[in-house]
């Protein structure tokens, strides 16, 4: 028998000559906390991924609304407002202010530039002159008097119908 104590490797790879051996497996207390910690971390990762997905969906919805607003503003001059993006080469972000609002002046400037280059894209004007009676409302219909109108007029002596005798 020899007087030397054999070296036992520890978890961190250091030898423990003459030192008590460090258990390779965690103790009962440490093992109980480890699965909870892993579960918490997994739960946080899932929540993070769900929040990222929701954020991306909301960002896409906001961009869709901003694009609709740019097209609405472009519809004042263009017959097909979506042509503004394809002909100007700009994206929605190019028409936004620093605060993220749609800049109507930028949209109007690009619409006028597109119309200067291609006047056939202008919004169609009506083929008739609305001042000539085609676009106005109906004239009120003339109503025939009723017996109730006669009795109401007879009680109000200032509006009695004049009767002529022949």
> Which of the four pLDDT bands, split at 50, 70 and 90, describes residue 37?
confident
Q: What is the DSSP string of 74-130?
A: HTTTBSSTTHHHHHH---GGGGB-TTS-B-HHHHHHHHHHHHHH-GGGBPPPPSS-G
Q: How far is CA 24 from CA 8, 20, 31, 99, in A?
A: 11, 12, 12, 58
pTM score over 0.75: no
The rounded distance, in Å, linking the Cα atoms of 69 and 57 is 19
Give the mean model confidence (pLDDT) for residues 123-142. Answer: 64
pLDDT at 71: 92
Kind and range of the H or E run holding 48: helix 28-74
Q: What percent of the chain has pLDDT over 70?
A: 62
pLDDT at 45: 94
Q: Is the pLDDT of residue 6 over 60?
A: no
Q: Hey, where are the domains in the chain?
A: 32-122
The rounded distance, in Å, linking the Cα atoms of 134 and 121 is 26
Q: What is the chain's mean pLDDT, rounded?
A: 76
pLDDT at 38: 75
pLDDT at 162: 56
Q: Counting Cβ atoms within 10 Å, is residue 115 exposed (0-12), middle (13-18) or buried (19+)? A: middle
Which residues, 6 or more positions from 39, have their beta carbon under 8 angstroms from its beta carbon?
none
Give the mean model confidence (pLDDT) for residues 29-40. Answer: 68
Is the distance from CB of 122 to CB of 79 less than 8 angstroms? yes
Is the distance from CB of 74 to CB of 107 less than 8 angstroms? yes
């Amino acid at each position: 028998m020899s007087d030397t104590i054999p070296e036992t490797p520890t978890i961190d790879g250091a030898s423990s000559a003459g030192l008590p051996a460090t258990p390779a497996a965690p103790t009962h207390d440490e093992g109980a906390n480890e699965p909870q910690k892993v579960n918490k971390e997994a739960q946080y990762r899932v929540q993070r991924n769900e929040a990222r997905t929701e954020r991306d969906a909301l960002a896409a919805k906001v961009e869709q609304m901003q694009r609709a607003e740019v097209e609405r503003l472009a519809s004042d001059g263009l017959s097909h407002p979506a042509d503004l993006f394809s002909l100007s080469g700009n994206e929605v972000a190019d028409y936004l202010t620093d605060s993220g609002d749609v800049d109507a002046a930028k949209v109007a400037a690009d619409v006028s530039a597109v119309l200067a280059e291609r006047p056939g894209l202008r919004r169609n004007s009506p083929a008739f002159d609305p001042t000539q009676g085609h676009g106005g409302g109906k004239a009120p219909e003339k109503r025939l008097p009723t017996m109730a109108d006669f009795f109401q007029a007879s009680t109000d002596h200032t509006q009695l119908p004049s009767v002529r005798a022949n």
